[in-house]
Amino acid sequence: MAQLLSCANNIEDDVKVFREALQLCPPDHFRQSVCLYNLATSLHNKFRQRGVLSDLDEAIELHRAALLLRPPGHSGGSMSLNNLAASLQYRFEQRGVLSNLDEAIELH
């Protein structure tokens, strides 16, 4: 049980640290997509633990932004596509908006 509580607290720390890293990363920096991706992934994980839909919505926005910085052929492109699709699928499961599922399928 203590380990589960530790994980729950760590997700808040992860989100905070990745938010700070994103704020410190200039928009044109070559690591911008990584900062966006890390924060999006942490927010997605936080949503899975806590079920707060605004975390999932923000994760989707950030995954989209990271993907824009990862053109076809980029080494992190497939991970961005997969995680955006997974977040959209979770949102479909929560809200039942078919366009979220359609987009998830297209991205996969």
Position 94 scores a pLDDT of 96
DSSP letters, 26-62, are -TTSTTHHHHHHHHHHHHHHHHHHH--HHHHHHHHHH
Averaged pLDDT for residues 28-42: 94
The confidence band for 7, taking pLDDT boundaries of 50, 70 and 90, is very low
**pLDDT(43) > 70:** yes
Tokens representing 34 are 């990584």
Average pLDDT of the chain is: 89
What's the domain range around 45? 2-107
Measure the N-to-C terminal CA separation of the chain; round to a whole number of Å.
35
Position 75 scores a pLDDT of 81
What CATH number did the domain enclosing 28 receive?
Answer: 1.25.40.10
The total number of structural domains in the chain stands at 1
> In this prediction, what percent of the chain has a pLDDT beyond 70?
92
Q: Is the pTM value of this prediction over 0.75?
A: yes
